[in-house]
Amino acid sequence: MLDVRGPADEQSPLPLLDAVAAVVDDFAPFAIEARGPGSVRVYFASETDRDTARAAVAAVCGPRVQTSATSVVDEDWAARSQAELRAIQIGRVVVAPPWDLPPRAPGSTEVVVEIRPALGFGSGHHPTTRLALLGLQQLDLRERDVLDLGTGSGVLAIAAVKLGARRATGIDRDPDALASARESVAANHVASRVALRDGDVSQLAPRPDAVAVIVANLTGAVLISLAPVITTLVEPGGHMVLGGILAEEEQAVVRAYQACAHRVWRAVEDEWVGMVWRTGQRP
């Protein structure tokens, strides 16, 4: 793992977590953790990826940060650290590990998504996932196709079809995330309606068959940089559910999307913001 430390009281337009995430994204991290003001920890599957990422962080961030590397011998740390997670309810969606699935009440409108905590992000316990799930619930998904960018555990794609979407496609370039998503799709019995693709979101080309709904729970910095791509993937009058946005990034994200869409929903949890946008002119 790689520890990155910067000034705890730093006033920067790009928070340390986002700055580090943007740099290390090319080196296959499987988890990024904010450990407090001015402290970020990044986990890698190999020492080579870790050391290459460390050099890149030092080169890009300069004297602003200090880095240190540590080897973790226990490869099962992630599963053990999440073994005590319990089901969590977000609106009418319940995200639950297999050991805490709620009983199915007759006539209930709750949607249960079974997710085994693993290396892919998306157990439902982070505010960004909860905000994205709430954003999806603001839309009528019936008979609509959904594209989930950076699908992680697949929780958002699976929730979308259980909320009524016709089909959902999850895209991720992280092999661990895709393995987790495949397990989640099988556990939720939605393989006929959820497809998974190995791909880099930044390399996506405009689709001739643009989808009705895009959900992108990424980071504010990535959403800003990919706005020209993301906005071409959704059909006119379609919706974009955007998450992973820190409060201080909100206005920059708004500026990136307001030229071709208008915001129809916004919610905040802790320092995170979730949004839903509709493409086309403001009514």
Confidence of residue 201 (pLDDT cuts 50, 70, 90): confident
Instruction: Please tell me the predicted confidence (pLDDT) of residue 147.
Output: 96
pLDDT score, position 106: 80
Distance (Å, whole) CA 277 – CA 261:
6
Residue range(s) in the chain whose domain bears CATH number 3.30.70: 2-73
Query: What's the predicted TM-score (pTM) here?
Result: 0.74
Phi, psi of 121 (to 5 degrees): -70, 155
Name residues whose C-beta falls within 8 Å of residue 143's C-beta, 6 or more positions apart in sequence.
Answer: 164, 165, 166
Is domain 119-279 annotated with CATH 3.40.50.150?
A: yes
**% of the chain beyond a pLDDT of 90:** 47
Query: Region 179-183: what's the mean pLDDT?
Result: 91
Instruction: Please tell me the predicted confidence (pLDDT) of residue 94.
Output: 95
Fold (topology level) of 2-73: Alpha-Beta Plaits (3.30.70)
What is the b/e burial string over 88-114, where b = at least 16 CB atoms within 10 angstroms of the residue's CB? bebbebbbbbeeeeeeeeeeeeebbbb
C-alpha dihedral over 169, 26, 66, 34, to 10 degrees? 10
Q: Edge to edge, what strands does the sheet with 66-69 contain?
A: 29-36, 39-44, 2-5, 66-69
Rg, C-alpha atoms of the chain? 19
Residue 81 has pLDDT above 60, yes or no: no
User: What residue spans in the chain does CATH classification 3.40.50.150 cover?
Assistant: 119-279
Which of 3-7, 19-23, 194-198, 249-253 shows the lowest mean pLDDT across its residues? 19-23
Taking only the tens place, the pLDDT of each residue in 105-140 is: 787 889 999 998 764 456 677 788 999 999 999 999
